Amino acid sequence: MSSTAGSGLVSLVYTSTASQPFRETALEQLLRLCRRLNEARGITGMLLHRDGRFIQVLEGHPETVAGLVDIIRSDSRHHDLRVLLQEPIAERRFPDWTMGYRVLRPGESRPPGYRDSFADLDAGSDIDTTVRALTELTLWFRVRARGGAARRRERTSVARAEAEEA
């Protein structure tokens, strides 16, 4: 789902609060459904969840993204939806999947000077902070996604080798 300049695409970032706690299995079920629907709509993006808060990036044609935001806003599973950033984009930041997903775990030890980009995005204080935080989270997510894919390939290779030995 890549695109070129002048394609009329937008990127929209919003935050929302879960109406009740989501178990990881419920998030995974929701994600499967959203991936299927988003692929049919030509939507790509990233979804982050931590401590009952969501941050989502949606990419696609403006009317499609706006319609999806209306659907999400009326979904009773969450509330307090705030659009933090909407901008035209020349190409997708997430062209290779319909929805990237990563649960951010609370309680991880953080080094001195650590800046919480999730919190910066959630605060939505100013456009510069929002753009910087989105850029950082996008980079973080892509690196983690590639690392996870590499680990899955390695496990698959090991499993094949073990099966061949048996």
**pLDDT value of position 112:** 47
> What is the average pLDDT across 72-98?
87
Q: How far is CA 95 from the centre of its chain?
A: 12
> What is the average pLDDT across 33-54?
86
d(CA 54, CA 49) in angstroms, rounded, equals 5
pLDDT (tens digit per residue) in 47-80: 877 778 888 889 999 999 999 999 999 999 889 9
Q: 81 in helix, strand or coil?
A: strand
Residue 137: phi, psi to the nearest 5? -65, -35
Torsion-angle region of residue 124: left (phi > 0), alpha (psi -120 to 50) or beta?
Answer: left
Place of tokens 């009740």: 20
What's the length of the chain?
A: 166
d(CA 12, CA 133) in angstroms, rounded, equals 14
